[in-house]
Amino acid sequence: MAKRFIILLFIAAWLSGSASGQRDHPRGRSFDAESHPVKHPEEQQTQYWVDKAQEKLLSKLAEAETQTANTNKAKNVILFLGDGMSVHTVTATRNLLGDSAEQVYFEGFPYTGLSKTYCVNRQVADSACTATAYLGGVKGNYGTIGVNGQVPRYSCDGDAKEENQVLSIAQWAQAAGKDAGLVTTARVTHASPAGVYAHTADRNWENDWEVANRGCDPAQTIDIARQLVEQPVGQRLKVILGGGRQNFINTTVNDEEGLPGLRTDGRHLIRQWLDQKRAANESANYVWSRKGLGLVDLEHTDYLLGLFANSHLPYNGDRDRKRSQLADPSLSELTEAAIKVLSRNQEGFFLFVEGARIDMAHHDTYARRSLEDTAEFARAVQKAREMTAEDDTLIVVTADHAHVMSINGYPEITGLAQLADDNLPYTILSYANGPGYYSGYNRAEGRALLKEENGDDVAVYASGPYAQYFSGNYEQSNIPALMARAAGIGPYA
């Protein structure tokens, strides 16, 4: 494939499992796609595809005759965010689950659209500026959270001006008497969940040391962990589930697993959170393990804080392979717990759920781990849909941005494709920088300066009240406006 200018990074985890496949196809011969067994023989018949098309037509006709658009007011809104979950990622997950003709659960939602992902100052977005868009309805600068484009990154006082702060849909829900919560497999102070409650000029300011390290005064520039515990939106979140204990405790303090914190101001924010709730005579529980979560009476809990790792939670596939599922909860388990707590409010709730490690696996070219986390993310969506009613609960599933994983070749998604020009096989899934490599690289002079391109659009899937709003192609910043209109909250009520 060298003549096609594609740079392929082989996926180590799969090479070990595919070694026998390399031996079966000696160098100098192409892989024969026809040699792979047909999983569903009926697919070889014309009538099979005709019948599937007829079934789809009949279902669409039935929908048109018996159903009208759901215009009920959404009591509850759940936003599922697959970090880095590109369309290719969903497609590859579908294949990993068994068959390309099947669906990832949320692909069966009745309405699908595309959102445009970019920052004010960059065409290719990150998780920080996109969080401001899909949670607050305003696009900001790369690396900033909860502030508009007037605030440059690293500005020590950038979040101080109220007119530059962007309020999230969580705040809109709280102001309307609803409860709000967040679930993530990342640190709860990471870029995406921070968009629920924080205003900061740098996504890395998760603790006071990071603020000081950038030359700002932590007493004036409040770090993200403190904002979660001390500022109004974070204080009122009924459910906070994820990782990141390190940002809540001092360097001189070890967490429940013996790992030190990163704070240098002496604060113990977990204790501070508990003291606040007890002083207000609220029922509050802090848990740090899957076992501890299972012991909580969720039906009688006002506030729930769960920090299940010093940093991020493990990849879901690693939970299974290392039997760490005994210690670490899955995303679907966390989602179930959150809904049980939030459902106590008769006025309804807003819940943000992030499958964060989909993107992290992509960054490290761990394709299998990324797809496994996407599969678990889909199970969490299914759990939420099963626990709620389509009549009163809007569920929106999307991604903050896409990723560079591409699908090449023809056989099974976890296998190897045909031989390249060097007579070596390449993986079906690869991380490629495209056809510009040889034109952008000179061996004598090194790499040429590359110009930025537009970030990929990402898919949006919706089910429930006003799900029809989410079809078509639109700005990512439109998403919270559409959700708020469905729920009758915030500036778009």
Residues designated catalytic = 127
Distant-in-sequence, close-in-space partners of 275: CB < 8 Å, separation ≥ 6: none
Q: At what angle do helices 479-487 and 127-136 cross, to 10 degrees?
A: 30
Confidence of residue 188 (pLDDT cuts 50, 70, 90): very high
128, 203 Cβ separation under 8 angstroms: yes
The model's pTM is 0.85
Is 372 flagged in the annotation as binding?
A: no
**Which pair of structure tokens corresponds to residue 258?**
């013996």
Per-residue pLDDT, averaged over 352-375, amounts to: 94
How large is the C-alpha radius of gyration of the chain? 24
Report which residue type is found at 107: E
If you average pLDDT over every residue of the chain, what do you get? 86
Give the pair of three-digit tokens for residue 355: 């499958």
With a CB cutoff of 8 Å and minimum separation 6, the contacts of 458 are: 85, 86, 87, 114, 115, 117, 398, 399, 400, 401, 402, 476
Domains with residue ranges and CATH for the chain:
75-405+453-492 (3.40.720.10)
For 52, residues 6+ apart whose C-beta sits below 8 A from its C-beta are none
Task: Determine the Cα–Cα distance for residues 101 and 121; give it in Å rounded to an integer.
Answer: 40
Pair 153, 202: CB distance under 8 Å: yes
| 204 within 8 A of 139, measured Cβ to Cβ | no
Token pair belonging to 73: 């007011």
Res. 452: pLDDT tops 50: no
User: How do residues 115-162 score in pLDDT, each as one tens digit?
Assistant: 999 999 999 899 999 999 999 999 999 999 999 999 999 999 988 999
Give the model's pLDDT for residue 52: 79
202 annotated binding-site participant? no
Please compute, for residue 250, the number of CA atoms within 13 A of its CA located in the half-sphere on the CB side. 9
Mean pLDDT of the region 87-104: 84
Output 61 or 172, whichever has higher pLDDT: 172
Helices 331-342 and 367-387, interaxial angle, to 10°?
30
Q: Is 190 annotated as a binding residue?
A: yes
Flag the least confident range among 257-261, 329-333, 420-424.
Answer: 420-424
Q: Is 363 annotated as a binding residue?
A: yes
Token couple for 401? 């941005």
Annotation-wise, does 100 bind a ligand?
Answer: no
E strands, 36-178, in order: 76-82, 111-116
**H or E element that contains 456:** none
- 401 annotated as belonging to a binding site for a ligand: yes
| Strands 284-287, 303-307: pairing kind | parallel
CA distances 185 to 114, 245, 286, 288, 368, Å, are 24, 13, 17, 13, 17
**Which candidate, 435, 423, 350, places its Cα nearest to that of 388?**
350
Task: Quote the tokens at residue 160.
Answer: 């101080």
Which residue do the tokens 């099974």 mark?
A: 412
What's the one-letter identity of residue 108?
G
Distance between CA atoms of 131 and 168, rounded to whole angstroms?
9
